[in-house]
Amino acid sequence: MEEIQKKYPRFLLTAGASGSGKTLITCGLLQALKNRGLTAASFKCGPDYIDPMFHEKVLKTKARNLDTFFTGEEMTRYLFAKNAAGADISVMEGVMGYYDGLGGISDTASAYDLARVTGTPAVLIVNTRGMSLSVLAYIKGFLEYRRDSRICGVILNQMSAGLYPEISSRIEAELGVRVYGYVPKVTDCLIESRHLGLVLPDEVERLEEKLQKLARVLEESLDIEGLLKLAEAAGPLPGGKLQYSGNVQLSGNFPGNSATIAVARDEAFCFIYEDNLQLLRECGARIVEFSPIHDRHIPAEADGLLLYGGYPELYSRELSANTTMLADVRGKIAGGMPCMAECGGFMYLHRTMEDMEKRKWRMAGVIDAEAYRTEKLTRFGYVELEAADALEKIRGHEFHYFDSTDNGEGFLARKPLRKRSWRCMHRTDTLLAGFPHLYYYSNPKLAEEFVKKCAGYHAGRNLEDPGAVQGK
């Protein structure tokens, strides 16, 4: 059992809607804090993968997700405290609009919910394009929609320097909320988007140069000292001494006393919750990475395989051309190597996969089905997966413009707060594959059981070859 009672300086950047500039301002502010010599921890509210990648480009360390649907209140506070330990300040980036949560009809799992659960002061980023005095009415609505809104400040985005003094003074006088500055229009620092959201950081030309320029702008236009004081004023995490023991015992005593899990990570496969990997390590696993695009084989020491999501549809030609890797993946899984695959990784295991132009490409052929392009998001949003065994419920998220001719029958997926449900996931003793992105801390037993299977595979390999040595 771990006890957490420390104070963590922190604030949350939120907005009234997507497209208001949250990610850009968060990254610019993180860069400014880093330039000041501060050690910052960053967090993204909700299930998004791409925004944390931009945080990581600034901080050169892994960002984390915090999601109250995935992990509830106690576990969310635990994960925040665990990952914020040692940082001078923690910055959380909200999701969508401040109160937008489950199913679009609840504030559960919203940025507001995260601020409430973690006792974090929120700063509302307001995109003022096309507004002047009406900005006050807009802000007032967010302040008053919930009596405990936790909104302690405002940043005015796309505001002119000439108009700012008058509008900010009216906001503070009439609404009683602090204005922490403005952000002028910075067209040369914008980040492009595509079908799953923002492009990846490595695809943005001169990204670090742009972030440094933005940081210099924010140093001039934002009250960063005021934001630091706001973070320092954040009280202890709610509940006093936070304790979490988990719903399973993670002993680390596994057959063979070792398991190495190969994780696909490259241009095509990059949607990875870092806390998922950390939980696997806590279960006794060693993580190694490989590229289904550039490498010819799965790492020789691998006892298990993880294929996460990403953009395989943009690299269909390269993935299909790497026939040696495809054969190795097919052969290892057929030979009993445990594998979990989700979304893009699930598509990679199909017999064929369409690209964005609906051209078919041969893939690994582990699943005798076709992955095909759709015209709109398919089964978008949070899901709760139910199975009639010890795994019980697992929570995840779907976000894809593709579907499969065979989605599997291993789980019943339910939409929270909705009546919709469907069967999904291919599930055998050694394979779990489907479109849902799974968050392991929603049921740590999933990670523990997977590591045990990998350790068992490792022990079996050593029985077949007594001279085998881990890592060779």
3-state secondary structure 67-125: CHHHHHHHHHHHHHHHHHCCCCEEEEECCCCCCCCHHHCCCCCCHHHHHHHHCCCEEEE
Q: What token pair was written down for 126?
A: 């307001």
For 73, phi then psi, to 5°, come to -80, -50
- 236/13 Cα distance (integer angstroms): 19
Catalytic residue among 283, 343, 424, 454: 343
Q: Contact 263/306 with Cβ under 8 angstroms?
A: yes
Token reading at 179 = 């204005």
Measure Cα distances from 350 to 234, 361, 362 in Å: 49, 10, 8
Spatial distance between the Cα atoms of 430 and 450, rounded to a whole number of angstroms = 8
Asked if 424 is an active-site residue, the reply is no
The contacts of residue 96 (CB under 8 Å, 6+ apart) are 17, 18, 46, 110, 111
Tokens of 274: 């870092």
Burial class (CB in 10 A: 0-12, 13-18, 19+), 387: middle
Angle between helices 134-145 and 164-175 (to 10 degrees): 40
Tokens of residue 70, six digits: 């995935």
Q: Which residues are catalytic?
A: 343
